Amino acid sequence: MGFSKFLILSPLPCKVICVFPSPSSKRSPASISGTSTPSTSSHLCRDFLSFSLSPAAHLSSSQCIVGHRRCSVCQVHQDVQPGDSSRASTWAAAAAKYARAERELKPARPYGAGAAAFYDKAEVKALEDKPQQVIVACSSDRGLCGAIHSSICKHIKAELAGDASKAAIICVGDKSRAQLQRTLAGSIIAQVGEVGRKPATFEDAGRIMTFILNSGYEFGSGKIVYNKFKTVVSYDTLEMPFYPSDAINAGEKIALYDSLDADVVQSYMEYSLASLMFYTLKEGACSEQSSRMTAMDAASKNAGEMIDKLTLTYNRTRQAVITGELIEIISGAAAV
């Protein structure tokens, strides 16, 4: 599948490259319109709803007050239900995605280690006659994951604070594009869309690197800025360098490798770039999912505190309704 290029509404000639398949999401009419139907599974809630929605023309003032109290109890009950269900589902979903990302990271690490070791052994360096460089910001399209994306953008901004005229930025994910476009809009040449919705594959990494090599931008060196996963609560923002074929041929110890003609070097360079991109995508995905799981854990704790407060309010309001009805019954019996 080739690239699908679209122009985005921005003051720069940036192209959106959708290399990841767009997921087909089906939403109910309620979620599309932004409204939801109140749950009436509870017997108490059904009674209060039917009472509050019935015509009140024939009711006395005391009955209207009791109906208002019942409606208030129903509203509190409806507020408790979605919070109780979302408290368990948010953390469970984030934990499952993190476990999958961690499993996929382990077999992907040899791809990055092998390609990086070749550059170190051959002592490949950036070309001095080509000071231009390509910077790949490895982020995604999804948020709610702490400072995952902002750490990458801050790293790039700090590096290009002096002069950004000799740098071309490729944003992998919309989050990095949204932050870097504020100050480095003239340096962004492309954005890769639909990142983070599905696990990245080696084919996706190959498409990104194919665009870099076929973009027509002459560069002497490049780097991928990504987040390296350490633990569930920590990660490091690092750089992964890569080089064009001319820089590899000019390596100081490239002669140690036998039978390396131009075609072999070109083929290995393309494969190594795809391997590095695949590795950094997996590292970034695992760091993102772990940070999101931590954020969802904090959200679950906040939801628990909110549910406790709403439950207390619900019990107090319900007791007030029952007490009011008992007072009316006793007062009516005494009057008779």
Task: Give 16-40 pLDDT, tens digit per residue.
Answer: 555 444 444 333 333 323 333 334 3
Topology annotation, domain 5-18+92-295: Pyruvate Kinase; Chain: A, domain 1 (3.40.1380)
Query: pLDDT tens digits for 248-296?
Result: 888 888 877 766 778 888 888 999 999 999 999 999 999 999 999 988 8
Cα-based angle 73, 76, 80 (whole degrees, multiple of 5): 135
**CA-wise closest residue to 200 among 270, 269, 283, 119:** 283
**CA-wise closest residue to 156 among 140, 171, 173:** 171
What three-state secondary structure class fits 335? helix
- In contact, 210 and 19? CB cutoff 8 Å: no
The structure's pTM equals: 0.70
Q: How many CB atoms lie within 10 A of CB 147?
A: 13
Q: Highest mean pLDDT range out of 66-70, 222-226, 252-256?
A: 222-226
pLDDT on residue 130:
87
Domain map (residue ranges) of the chain: 5-18+92-295
- In contact, 223 and 242? CB cutoff 8 Å: yes
Name the more confident of 321 and 151: 151
**In this structure, what are the phi and psi dihedrals at residue 80, rounded to the nearest 5 degrees?**
-75, -40
pLDDT on residue 47:
36
Asked whether the predicted pLDDT for residue 87 surpasses 90, the reply is no
Counting every residue, how long is the chain?
Answer: 336
